[in-house]
Amino acid sequence: MAKRFISEFKVNERVDSFFILRKKNLKLTKHDKPYLELTLTDKTGKIEARMWDDAEKFSELIETGNVVHVKGTIDKYKEEKQLKVDYIAPADDRDFVYEDLVRVLENAEEVFEKLIAHLKGIKNKWIKTLAKEFYEDEKLMQLFKNGLGGKAWHNAYIGGLLEHTYEVTYISDLMCKLYPEADKDVVILGAFLHDIGKVYELDPKKMEYTIEGGLVGHIGIGHKILMEKTKNIDNFPPDLCLRLEHIVLSHHGKYEQQSPVLPKTLEATIIYHADELASQTNAIKEIQLQQQEEGKVWSDFVSIKNRKYFIKEAESEEWAMETEKNEKPGPRDKGTKELFDF
């Protein structure tokens, strides 16, 4: 059957399709009747779902992270679309196209080439040698290209880690042009390495944390990867190693954001703020793209940020039509990302 995507669903529509099961909770109503609380996703987004009948029986059949076949009806609950499930079961691999269910960065190879070009521009021999230890590791780079930028908040799709790393490197490079006092080579390699631990922290197929990711986290994993690579280089300068370690360990910027240490060098400060800017901007952009299509002025409540976002398109307002030549702006392409050159 033709895949019907979550972004296309209408209230009262009958659904018979395939999704990845992201969350499953067996709960009780106020009358102590079991029901299933579910979160389903495909490459266009996610939808909350509820199953009210035979919940215990169906709960035993399904596991989070797996593809499921679902039948039901689109309802509306608290102004949000919700899927009322009549049937749910593990899907047969022959019945669905996996690429319909997971979002993938379409221009990944182009982004990777641009990112590696930054690394190849490094001048310092020690930093250049260490950079090559990373980008010539084919197994690690394949994991990196397929990695998730995050589980849910930003760049949460296959290739998202690569995309996010490129953006942080790009911003960091710009900052080095404004602040030449920073060691550009340290900044570029530090930007490339800041989230390298996510290759083992997140499972891109299940869109979930691995055991190592849950117990150690990407900061600890990334630090371990960095130390292993420096050991492959004879007489690698310990002072330089410390500077790079500090960037990896401090890039979350605040103790309350699970940063083991605070940024204490110019280079680490640049990378922390570049990381924050890229990740937060991507997250809000995703909210806009997903919810503007529904004609919303305000986003759904974003609990992680304790707010709703104003997402009305500026180009729909009268002031935006007044260009210098009194010409109406052209349509915006929402499906592509420009890759900037310096």
Q: Where are the domains of the chain?
A: 6-100, 108-284
What CATH topology corresponds to 108-284?
Hypothetical protein af1432 (1.10.3210)
With both helix axes pointing from N to C terminus, report the angle between 266-292 and 160-178 in degrees, rounded to the nearest 10: 130
CATH number for the domain running over 6-100 = 2.40.50.140
Asked if domains 6-100 and 108-284 share a fold, the reply is no
Residue with tokens 């304790």: 306
Task: Tell me the β-bridge partners of 27.
Answer: 35
Q: Is 276 exposed, middle or buried (0-12, 13-18, 19+ CB in 10 A)?
A: middle
- 163 alpha carbon, distance to own chain's centre: 9
pLDDT of residue 328: 53
Closest CA to 72 of 17, 147, 151: 17
Please tell me the predicted confidence (pLDDT) of residue 301.
86
- Whether 143 and 201 have beta carbons less than 8 Å apart is answered as no
pLDDT of residue 337: 46
- Establish how many alpha carbons lie within 13 A of residue 176's alpha carbon, considering only the half-sphere containing its beta carbon: 22
Q: How far is CA 226 from CA 81, 116, 183, 253, in A?
A: 45, 17, 19, 19
Q: How far is residue 198's CA from residue 251's CA, in Å, rounded to a whole number?
A: 13
- Helix 266-292 vs helix 184-193: crossing angle, to nearest 10: 50
Q: Concatenated DSSP letters for 82-118?
A: EEEEEEEEEPPGGGS-GGGTS-B-TTHHHHHHHHHHH
pTM over cut 0.75: yes
Q: How far, in Å, CA of 325 to CA of 76, rounded?
A: 45
Average pLDDT of adjacent 10-residue blocks, the chain of 342 residues: 82 93 92 93 89 92 90 89 94 87 89 97 98 97 94 86 97 97 98 97 87 96 98 97 98 94 98 96 86 80 88 83 62 45 46
Neighbours of 99 (CB within 10 A): 11
Closest CA to 229 of 126, 315, 317: 126
